[in-house]
A and B are shown apart, each in its own frame.
Chain A
Amino acid sequence: MVLSHRPALSKLYSDSCDRRVSLMLEFSAAEIEAVRLSLRIAFWAMVGSLPFGLATAMILARGRFYGKSLLDGVVHLPLVMPPVVTGYLLLLLFGRNGPLGRFLDESFGIVFAFRWTGAALACAVMGFPLLVRAIRLSLEAVDRRLEEAAGALGARRIFVFVIVTLPLITPGIVAGMVLSFARSLGEFGATITFVSNIPGETRTTASAIYTLTQTPGGDVGALRLTLVSIALSFVALLAADLLARRLGRRLSGD
């Protein structure tokens, strides 16, 4: 009696298994949108913050001025403050009525509030301490006597920086960029506070997962995006490791 039911049960089970697997792979348009948006935001956050990160790292590593530790502290604040606080401060500063937001809007037509650019700004700020830290460490490890040697060979400062310093700190720059990128992929609190959670504009993977977990029946979608997030972060870290190793080999002379 019991045995005769077995094939049917098993079929039912495997059917549902197939359905689950196919469900796992069936991304909705909104989910794909969220992943692409996340990648775009993380990319521009990383690229946009790089020049500022490089400059700040130079100032912190090489500069000697009053208030250096204050600057160091400010740079590191996003690392220790609740992300919501960072997001709220961004809203106050870069919102439509914030002093910087209004200035940028009126002078250059750049708007951050409730746009994907705002999400990129929030991610850039959150990833900034990691970026600066990595570059600063590699700058401090550069043998300054190599720069002196380059100067004695006739290279003025800007050339010394471009031809000697920059190649030597490339592993640090790459590491910083990857950290900033990975941090952006995971950024949630500051983004949702600053630019909300607008589908197609500011709904990143993280906010999409959050939304799905708050929606009845959204758990499969949340799981799908979670797996994607893990995969992306992993690939980013692997790529960084590979690149760093290759650059390291070049510098050590192999």
Chain B
Amino acid sequence: MLEVDIKHRLADFALDIHFHAGRGLTALFGRSGAGKTSVVNAIAGLLRPRRGRIAMDGSVLLDTERAIWVPTHRRRVGCIFQEGRLFPHLTVRQNLLFGRWFAPARERRVTNLDDVVDLLGIATLLDRRPGRLSGGEKQRVAIGRALLANPSVLLLDEPLASLDAPRKSEILYYVERLRDDVRIPIVYVSHSLDEVVRLADAIVLLSEGRVLGTGPVREMMSRVELRPYLGRHEGGAVIEARVAAQDLESGLASLEFDGGTLEIPDVEALVGEQVRVRVRARDVSIALQRPAAVSIRNVLAGTIVKLDREDGPSLDVQLEAGGTLLIARITRKSADDLALRPGLPVFALIKAVSIDRRSVGYA
């Protein structure tokens, strides 16, 4: 368990951050300039907050009241930065083993080089120097290097930001494996909702140096007051589902969840696997009757829970399908024309093609 409670003065605003991160992946989410990197740097010991306390599994890394300050090299934080930051004069192997030179002797063998090399698929790169590696390869080596230092927490500061789309999905896959394999807290900094929804167990939402909310992904995504910060057009519900079938001929996967079945194209998961699907609110329509002769493949029966009226021409309708919350963003005029109100049984319509590959991740 990682506990962070810090106050610091930055150039543009004051940083006042308080959150806990348990096992699994906690995303620090916010726009650029929200103070995410400063928080990570404070955890790593690269930034010294004016006041506050940071503790990892009960061992205190920073406590300004008790004048405790553990320097970076004794914190055992595994950092993975945006640019990789591999040592250009060392080979990949030497980069990977860098942390081991400084680890206490008894911890040296905990993480096995071969295991990490296998996990990340970098066996063929070992004798090369970083200068010739692609962006994705560099990031994989950087992840391996952090793991081999036997950290007690992993910090990933926008590890995908400098990669192109194919490399992004390549590294996302490894981060997912990491999340499921390692038993330490992972703090993942990002300003991309796609990444966060796909990877995170919990979200810490930051804005201008403050925490606006923390909680599990599904809960956070459905909190209306956070919608402006999570991206008005990107917001929506997150559905945890199981792959029931993969139809190779049509390219559609059937995903079962407690509210029914979703048909979605291009799901890279095997039958039986758990996935997490983000359904953007603007991609959900509402009908009072089950439509016939329509191209929309996903029609889910549900009940309206709440209408979130706000200024402007549109509003959010929260509805429940089985035990799962869905959000539909429609015009206020449509809501009035259909006389939508809480308790009304409706049908949620979701175009299959509106849910792209980036919206689906392993749960």
Q: Which residues of A contact B (CB under 8 A)?
A: 143, 145-146, 148-157, 159, 163-164, 167-168, 250-254
Contacts and interface: CB of A to CB of B under 8 A. Distances in A.
A145 B102 contact: no
Contact of B129 (A145, A159, A167, A253): A253
Contact of A149 (B75, B79, B132): B79
Contacts of B76: 154
A152 B44 contact: yes
Given A152-B77, A153-B145, A251 B72 contact: no
A251 B103 contact: no
Given A167-B89, A250-B89, A150 B98 contact: yes
Nearest to A247: B89
A153 B85 contact: no
A254 B132 CA distance: 7
Interface of B: 44-46, 71-79, 81, 83, 85, 87-89, 98-99, 101-103, 128-133, 145-146, 149
Contacts of A159: 101-102
Contacts of A156: 71, 73, 102
Given A148-B72, A151-B72, A155-B102, A253 B149 contact: no
A154 B103 contact: yes
A143 to B, nearest CB: 8
Contacts of A252: 88, 131
Nearest to A253: B131
Contact of A154 (B81, B102, B130, B132): B102
A164 to B, nearest CB: 6
A163 B128 CA distance: 18
16 contacts: A148-B46, A148-B79, A148-B85, A149-B81, A149-B87, A150-B98, A151-B72, A152-B79, A153-B102, A154-B74, A154-B101, A156-B71, A156-B73, A159-B101, A253-B88, A253-B130
Nearest to B83: A145
Pairs A-B, 10 closest by C-beta atoms: A253-B131, A154-B102, A253-B129, A153-B99, A151-B72, A149-B85, A152-B79, A167-B89, A253-B132, A252-B131
Given A153-B99, A253-B131, 8 more contacts: A149-B87, A151-B72, A152-B44, A153-B146, A154-B74, A154-B102, A155-B73, A254-B131
A145 B85 contact: yes
